[in-house]
Chains A and B, each alone.
Chain A
Amino acid sequence: MASELIKNYEKIRDYMREFYVYGFKYREDYSSKSARSYDYEKHRIESWLGDYMSFNRTADGKNVFLSIDSRDIVSNPLFQSLRSKSFTSRDIALHFLILDLLHSPHVSLSHKEILEGIDKQLAEMGKSITELCDESTLRKKLKDYEGQGLLCSFKEGKTVKYTRPTEPSLTELYLAIAFFAETSPLGALGSFILKRDEMSQFPLSFKHHYITSALDSDILCQALLAIRERREIVVKSKAKSVKEGQIRVVPIKIFSSAQNGKVHLMAYDLRLQKMVPLRVDYIKSITLGQSYEDYESLCQLFSKMRSHIWGVSMKKDLDDTEYVEFTVEINKGEEYIYNRLIREKRCGFVEMIDENHARFYAYIYDSQEIIPWVRTFITRITSVNFQNKHVCQQFYKDFDSTYKLYFKDEGESV
């Protein structure tokens, strides 16, 4: 049986997404992976998220899926998968022994004192420090913990002393942490605080809550660190648009969809010298590079482009936009339609052209991206006028096809 702890998250990330987002595949469908690998990963996910796993047996076999109504959960269950990192017996022993010696910010000890302290602790158990580590292993662990902020150090004369940092009081913050753990980037970090402090009951729930980005936490964290530090990065991605599997970019912004949960890294491609959207769930790794000197000018470029981005598509030429326009009929008592247009117009403009008709128009980089939204006004669209004639014709053609789809059985003419 496979251990429920794992060393590498990347492999299971794909499985989790498959089970949660799709959930219709059978064991045989995972052709790129071996059947044994599938069984191991399925078993692990069951162990982490058993309460949310469902099975469906059909003539073709059994399929496994994660079925979660996000309105019923206070905490994203996918965060649990991030808490499955494997460790060695030495790792866990040093963790508990060191933090026990440095149990309060009022206690500070040198490396030598910690070594002696551990030796003393283990002697009580009839064991010796030689079973655990040598001096340099301890030094490495202390350095690692200092880097992560679990410990801090200061000099007393010539001796470096380690201590535990003073923690801010969280008593008044738990509800905020619970809220932002679900709504803010890298919410996993907040959820770990709540787990540590055993805080779980909150009068909160979430609608339209997309939880899959939890699986991309480490990628997103690297991207945000790079944005804060204004660094170039090398992105390894499985997206078809990324030639040779990797791309050198300067990250500008994270674009997150509240309507489908997709997250994109908006970045400047240093080779092609243009802005590109990179889907975060396709990114396999991000390596931070040197800081990018002219970061501000890229931000300004993006800011100018922003008023023409409907979804995430961008063009190399700032002014290479397409005009899109449609009008809708608004009858008396249907003012909510006008309000909808105003509320949902993004970078577009809305105006009443007469008492009963409103016009939406915009100049955007990709007309195709706006089509799904235009379709939501079906029943009241009086005209669609796109500069991109192909997209415009496709809209009408699609409407005819949709109509036929629903009326074909009734033999009605279209």
Chain B
Amino acid sequence: MIFNEIYGVYYDTVSKIIAKILEKGSLEKGELLEIVEKYAFSDSYIEISQAIKDERWLFLTKDFKTCLKNPPKTPLTTLQLRWLRSLLEDKRFKLFVKEIPYQLWCYEPLFLPSDIEFYDKYEDSDPYENDFYKEVFHTILEAIESQSALELSFITRADKARRVQVLPKRLEYSQKDDKFRLIVSGNKDIGVINLSTIVFCKAVPKLNWLADKSRVSRTKTLTLELTDKRNTLERLMLHFAHFKKQARKTDKDKYTVQIEYSAQDESELLIRVLSFGPTVRAVAPQDFVELIKARLEKQQLLFSSKK
């Protein structure tokens, strides 16, 4: 199964130790420490160095001599190959890989796309199989790798085309939206561009002035008070699990949760808080609270007018 020592940190670290010994013919204690700190857990040095000192593993002596002749490399397991095979069935796979290694086709997929459903993801996924989309995706990846700039046109929310030069930083994927966004710098107004809105994309040489300007989204802290009724505590903590957060119990069934969020995601966060109903109350920042109150007031008026 997946929880197995062959995938473990120790086997991996010992591989690196052996490879280093074979490369150099010896090993210093400092180098051992360096390897263990890089590849293993924080307490591993004590365990690994003691095992070597005691010559517990037989193939390695306390003065770093080994009978092994080849740099160790654990072969991939059938489970890993079957996992890789499953990826070939995913329509996003071809965004990353132009030529599929034919050897993978001979394995049974570990799962098929139809075995798993993200039942609440949004329906307007990016068009992964569209040739132009794929072309844009590849151009972006190549530009990131070669550290080139991009000249691109995209359709804004106001349905207008905008042409810009930017430095591509990375691609951000959201499972909920099932969309890729391009994170860029080099333009103080633009930090993120949805890939599906790009209508023109070309790599251009990097210009010096581009690097200086980038749009930085402010981080804010949202404070929520919640009452643990109807399993709210678990629901809320899971719902906001992907944020940096801190929770505190304040009374028998009362909790305070602080969530760090990017200011540009405020509208989304607002409706996510509202979705919990009366068991969750935003108490800070004040402008966030005011936005919720404005929505509630407007809704109250709508309901009153119907009565």
Partners in one complex: yes
Interface residues of A (CB under 8 A from B): 1, 3-5, 9, 20-24, 46-48, 50, 54, 56, 58, 65, 67-72, 80, 82-87, 89, 91-93, 95-97, 99-100, 103, 121-122, 124-125, 127, 131-132, 148-151, 164-170, 172-173, 175-177, 179-180, 183-186, 188-190, 192-193, 195-196, 203-212, 217-218, 221-222, 224-225, 227-228, 253-262, 309, 311-312, 329, 336, 339, 342-346, 371-373, 375-376, 378-383, 396, 398-399, 401-407, 414
Bound-state CA distance A54–B145 (Å) is 35
B47: Cβ under 8 A from any A Cβ: yes
Q: Known: A121-B59, A255-B119. Is A22-B77 also a contact (CB below 8 A)?
A: no
Bound-state CA distance A210–B14 (Å) is 32
Bound-state CA distance A228–B115 (Å) is 8
Asked whether, in the complex, the Cβ of A218 is within 8 Å of the Cβ of B2, the reply is yes
Q: Which of B25-33, B87-95, B198-206 contacts A (4 or more CB under 8 A)?
A: B87-95
What total of chain B residues lie within 8 Å of the partner, measured CB to CB? 127
CB B216 to nearest CB in A, in angstroms, measures 14
Asked whether, in the complex, the Cβ of A93 is within 8 Å of the Cβ of B57, the reply is yes
Asked whether, in the complex, the Cβ of B277 is within 8 Å of the Cβ of A168, the reply is no
Asked whether, in the complex, the Cβ of A376 is within 8 Å of the Cβ of B8, the reply is no
Bound-state CA distance A296–B145 (Å) is 47
CB A185 to nearest CB in B, in angstroms, measures 6
CB A265 to nearest CB in B, in angstroms, measures 11
Asked whether, in the complex, the Cβ of A96 is within 8 Å of the Cβ of B42, the reply is no
Asked whether, in the complex, the Cβ of B110 is within 8 Å of the Cβ of A186, the reply is yes
Asked whether, in the complex, the Cβ of A259 is within 8 Å of the Cβ of B176, the reply is yes
**Residues in chain B near residue A121, CB distance under 8 A:** 59, 67-68
* Most chain A CB inside 10 Å of its own CB: which residue of B8, B51, B59, B237: B59
- A207-B172, A378-B295 given. 14 additional CB < 8 A pairs? A1-B43, A24-B255, A72-B244, A89-B58, A100-B72, A173-B97, A183-B173, A189-B2, A217-B3, A227-B111, A376-B271, A398-B278, A402-B278, A403-B300
Bound-state CA distance A402–B276 (Å) is 9
Chain B, 267-307, CB within 8 A of any chain A CB: 271-272, 274-278, 281, 289, 292-296, 298-300, 302-303, 306
B245: Cβ under 8 A from any A Cβ: yes
Asked whether, in the complex, the Cβ of A85 is within 8 Å of the Cβ of B5, the reply is yes
Total number of A-B contacts with CB less than 8 angstroms?
382
**Residues in chain A near residue B66, CB distance under 8 A:** 125
**Residues in chain A near residue B47, CB distance under 8 A:** 3-5
- In the complex, the chain A residue whose C-beta lies closest to that of B295 is A379
Pairs A-B, 10 closest by C-beta atoms? A149-B78, A401-B278, A176-B96, A168-B103, A379-B295, A24-B247, A103-B70, A372-B275, A69-B244, A203-B170
Asked whether, in the complex, the Cβ of A406 is within 8 Å of the Cβ of B111, the reply is no
Asked whether, in the complex, the Cβ of A177 is within 8 Å of the Cβ of B84, the reply is yes
B4: Cβ under 8 A from any A Cβ: yes
Q: Known: A148-B78, A375-B277. Is A344-B115 also a contact (CB below 8 A)?
A: no
